[in-house]
Amino acid sequence: MKILLRDLRDFFVSLQLTVALLVFGMLLIFAATLDQTNLGIWGIQQKWFRTFIVWQDIRGVSLPVFPGGYFIGGLLLLNLLAAHIERFKFTWRKAGIFLTHVGLILLLIGELLSGLWQEDFHLRLNEGETRNYAESFRDNELVVTDATEEKFDEVVAIPEVLLARHTSVQHPRLPFRLVAKAHYPNSFLQTRKPDGAPTLATTDLGREVVAVPQPITYKTDEANLPSAYVELVAADASPGIFLVSTGLVAPQRFDYGGRSWKIALRAKRIYEPFSLTLMKFSHDRYAGTEIPKNFSSRIKLTTPDGRDDREVLVYMNNPLRYAGLTFYQSGFANNDRTTILQVVRNPSWLLPYIACAIMTVGLCAQFCIHLLAFVKKRRAPLSAPAVA
C-alpha cells in the first residue's frame, strides 16, 4: 500500500505529467479548431472542451478518441496542487510565483464552474413591448397550458430531452399522460399530400402538415427546427396525437375534461420577477455609409413591488447587470425596431477577473523581487584587488 501511494504521489507531482498534459492540451485545441467547420463554436465547446472524453462516430459506432477538456484540465489542476504541496516551500523570494500559481488554479476552477453553471438566453423586444422572460438559444420545452380561466393560465413545461428519450410523462397537474411517438432534433415542415405517406398525427394541424427529419446543423447562421409527435393518453378517450414543432407559430387548442387546453413546442423560457420594456432602439451609422457606428437600447426596468422603476441604456461593452443576470446588446432586427439582448447567468463570472488580477500581481511582484535583487547585487562594493 505504501508503494502504491508513493507511486501515485510521484505520478501526480511529476514534471513529465505537466509536459504531457500541456501537449495534449495543444493537440486538443488544434483538433477542435479543425472540427469547428463541422460543428460550430457551441458544438465544439460541448464535444471537445466541456467533456471528459471526446466521442466520435466511426461507421455508425460512437467511440472514445481523445481526452476531453475537463479531463486534461482536471489532471492539470491536480498536478499543480500536488506539486505545490509536495515541493513548494514558501519564501518571500517566491511570493510572486505563489500568487501566479494561485491565480492559475482559480482560472481553471472558474472555467469548470462556468461550464457547469453558465446559462445563455436571448431576449427580443419590439419598441414599446414589455417582457419578463428570456428564451434559450438551444434548449426547447413542450408546454401544455390550461387556458380555461380568463385571468390566468396554468402552464406545465416539459424538457425536450424527455421527448428525445420517448419517456412517458405523467404530471400531477395534467389529467393525461404525454407519450412521445417520434422526435426529430431538426426537421422542416411541409404540407401533406393527399396521396402521401401516412402521418402519426391524428388531430389538428398534424393531419395537414408533416415533419420531415433533417441532419442537425451546427452553423452559426442556421437554426435547428425540432419537431415531435406527442400522444395524450387518458383513462377514457385520448385527446389524440399532436404534431408539435418550434416552426408552428401558434399553439394548438383542444378541449378535454370540460377544460380548454393548448399545446406547443417552444424555446425554453426563464421567467424573472421584473419586466423590461424597450423604450427606444438606436442604430447609428457613419455619415454617408451603411457601416454601423453604434447600436443601443434604452430599457425601462420595473418590478411589481415598485422598488425599481428606472431607465437604463444598454450598448456595446456596457451591459445591464441585475438580479444575477447580465444583459448584453447582441443584435437588432425588423428595420431597427427590434432589439436582441443576450442574457447570461453565470454565478462564477467574477472568478476569471480575480484570477487574472492575482496572476498579474504575482508576475509583477516576482519581476520586482528579481529586479531589486539584481540592483542590490550590482551596488555591492567590489572586493579589494589582489596585491601582486
Out of 223, 239, 268, a domain closes at: 268
User: What's the rounded mean pLDDT across residues 8-35?
Assistant: 92
188 is a domain residue? yes
Q: How confident is the model at residue 155 (pLDDT cuts 50, 70, 90)?
A: very high
260 and 304 part of one domain: no
387 is a domain residue? no
Do 281 and 297 form a contact (C-beta atoms < 8 A)? Answer: yes
Out of 248, 268, 288, a domain closes at: 268
Is residue 187 pLDDT above 80, yes or no?
Answer: yes
261 and 159 part of one domain: yes
Is residue 151 pLDDT above 60, yes or no?
Answer: yes
For residue 270, the model assigns a pLDDT of: 92
241 is a domain residue? yes
263 and 149 part of one domain: yes
260 and 310 part of one domain: no
264 and 281 part of one domain: no
Do 333 and 123 form a contact (C-beta atoms < 8 A)? Answer: no
Q: How confident is the model at residue 122 (pLDDT cuts 50, 70, 90)?
A: very high
C-alpha cell belonging to residue 112 = 469548470
For residue 383, the model assigns a pLDDT of: 54
145 and 264 part of one domain: yes
Is residue 66 pLDDT above 90, yes or no?
Answer: yes
Hey, which residues does 244 pair with through a beta bridge? Answer: 228
C-alpha cell belonging to residue 240 = 389524440
222 and 263 part of one domain: yes
82 is a domain residue? yes
365 is a domain residue? yes
Is residue 157 pLDDT above 80, yes or no?
Answer: yes
For residue 341, the model assigns a pLDDT of: 95
For 303, the domain range is 121-130+271-345
For residue 287, the model assigns a pLDDT of: 82
For residue 267, the model assigns a pLDDT of: 94
Instruction: Report residue 224 CA to chain centroid gap.
Output: 16
38 and 145 part of one domain: no
209 is a domain residue? yes
User: What's the rounded mean pLDDT across residues 121-139?
Assistant: 93
User: What's the rounded mean pLDDT across residues 221-231?
Assistant: 90
Instruction: Give the Cα separation of 276 and 109 in Å (integer).
Output: 33
125 and 162 part of one domain: no
Residue of 299 and 192 predicted with greater confidence = 299
For residue 211, the model assigns a pLDDT of: 93
330: nearest Cα among 343, 347, 349, 320: 343
For residue 313, the model assigns a pLDDT of: 95
Is residue 317 pLDDT above 90, yes or no?
Answer: no
Instruction: Give the Cα separation of 269 and 382 in Å (integer).
Output: 75
The count of structural domains within the chain is 3
Out of 268, 291, 315, a domain closes at: 268
388 is a domain residue? no
218 and 293 part of one domain: no
257 is a domain residue? yes
pLDDT in tens, 253-295: 999 988 999 999 999 999 999 999 999 999 888 888 878 788 8
For residue 115, the model assigns a pLDDT of: 83
182 and 293 part of one domain: no
* Rounded (10°) angle between helices 95-117 and 69-87: 150
Is residue 384 pLDDT above 90, yes or no?
Answer: no
251 and 291 part of one domain: no
